[in-house]
Amino acid sequence: MPESVESVTLEACLDQTAYPIRIGSGILLEEVPALLERLTADRKVAIACDAFFLESTAQLLSDRLRKAGFTVFLHPMTGGKSNKTLEELVHLYDLMERNEFARDSSLIAVGGGVIGDTAGFAASTFLRGIHLIQVPTTVTSQIDSAIGGKVGINFNKTINAIGTYYHPRGVFIDLDFLQELPERDYIAGLAEIIKCAVICDAAFFEYLQKNAERILDRDPSALLHIYRRTIEIKLDHVRGDVQEFQQKRIRLNYGHTIGHAIELATAGREELYRHGEGVSLGMVAASFLAERLFKRDGKLRALHEAILKRYGLPIRVDLKRVGASRDEFIQRCLQHVRKDKKRQAMHVRFILPEAIGRTVVNDAVPAERIREAVAMLCEAPAP
C-alpha cells in the first residue's frame, strides 16, 4: 500500500464460536504463527494457496511456520469458479490423509473465494472438522466469503450446491494483497460493499458516493473504513441467523438471485461476468422489481445505476459479449433463477429494496415480473 494503516481487530461472535478478524497491512507473518501457537499443540499445517502466491506469501508463511517448529505442507490450487469442484476437494483430502492429519491439525487457506470455500469445506469435513484459518486475498473474499462460516463447492451447474457452515479460528485480512489485485477484480469486489450499504446503511451509501475517487485509487484509510463497516454489517446480519432460518442473513444475498443466474447463464465463456459484476446486475434488476411491485418511481433504480456506474460496474448485459440472442439469454437466466438455492418450496425468494438502507424479503414475485427484470438488463440504459 502507498502508506501503512493501523491494524483493527473485529470479534466475530457467531453461534457458540468466537474468532478474531484482523485487518491491517503486513500482518500475516507474525500473527498467523502466533495464533497457531495459542490454538493447538499439533504441529501439522497444510497451506492451500492460490498458485499465484506459491512462491511469495505462501512460501514466506511456510518458512516462518517451519522456523516455529511446525511441519508444513504446501498445496497450490488454481482460482476461478470452474475449479471449485469435488476433484479439488479430493486432492486436499488426499494430502491430509497421506500425512496423517489429526483433528487438532490445521489448514490455512491463502487465496480468493474459490480457495477459501474449497479449503474451508475440506477443513469442515475431514475427520469431522480440523482447525481452519482464512487468509483471503481478494476484495470479495476479504469482506464477504471468508467471514460468516459458509464453505462449499459447486456441483454440475449449481453454485455452492454442496457445503456446510463452519467457522475459521481466525481471519487475517492483509490490505497489501490489494496492490497486486488486477483492476477488474478489485472493482468487481466493490459491488459487495455497495450491496451492504444498500441493504441497511444509507449513511454508508452516501460515504461511498462521496469517496469514490479515494476508494478507486485504493487509498489505505478509505479502504480500512469501508472494510470495517462492511464486515460489521455482515456480522450484524449473520449473528443469530448463521444458517438463514430467519429473514436476517438472507438479506446479504441482495442482488444474488438474478446475479448468480447471469453468472451461470454465461458460464460457457470463462468468467464472462465476475461474481461482483453479476451482483451489480442483480442489484439493478432487484431495484427494477421494487419499482414494479411497490409502485415506486425510478429514483431508487437511478441511485443504484449511478453509483455502480461510478465504480465501473456493469448496469446492463452486453449481449454481443454473451454471444446469445436476447430471448435465448433471458430463457437461460430464468432457468437458473428457478433453481436458486434460496427458494422455499416452489417460490423464488428475492431481497428487494424499499429505499437505500432498507430491504425486505419477498417470496411472491410473479414470474412475468422476473422476466421483465432480466429483459430490462438487455436494454440500453436511459441517458
The end-to-end CA distance of the chain, in Å, is 37
Residue 382 falls within a domain, yes or no?
no
Q: Does residue 317 sit in the same domain as residue 172?
A: no
pLDDT over 90 at 270, yes or no = no
Asked if 223 and 143 sit in the same domain, the reply is no
CATH code of residue 285: 1.20.1090.10
Task: Pick the last residue of a domain from 149, 179, 209.
Answer: 179
pLDDT at 3 over 70: no
- Residue-wise pLDDT for 310-360, tens only, equals 999 999 999 999 989 999 999 999 999 988 766 665 678 999 999 999 999
Tens of pLDDT, residues 130-157: 999 999 999 999 999 999 999 999 998 7
Is 0.85 surpassed by the pTM of this model?
yes
Q: What percent of the chain clears pLDDT 90, i.e. is strictly above it?
A: 84
Q: pLDDT (tens digit, 9 = 90+) per residue, 207-217?
A: 999 999 999 99
Any idea what the CATH number is for the domain that residue 121 is in? 3.40.50.1970
Among 153, 179, 205, the domain boundary falls at 179
In a domain, 254, yes or no: yes
Instruction: Convert the pLDDT of each residue in 74-95 to its tens digit.
Output: 999 998 888 999 999 999 999 9
Domain end among 179, 204, 232: 179
- Mean residue pLDDT of the chain comes to 94
Residue 84: domain span: 8-179
Q: 1: pLDDT confidence band, cut at 50, 70 and 90?
A: very low
Same domain, 123 and 170: yes
Cell numbers that stand for 335 in this block: 432457468
| Residue 305 and residue 238 in one domain | yes
Question: Under 8 Å CB-to-CB from 182, ≥6 apart: which residues?
Answer: none
Q: What angle do CA 229, 147, 184 make, to 5 degrees?
A: 75
Side-chain half-sphere of 227: how many Cα atoms within 13 Å? 31
**134 lies in the same domain as 67:** yes
Which pLDDT score is estimated for 6?
A: 84
3, part of any domain: no
**Domain annotation covers residue 314:** yes
**Is residue 217 domain-shared with residue 105, that is, in the same domain?**
no
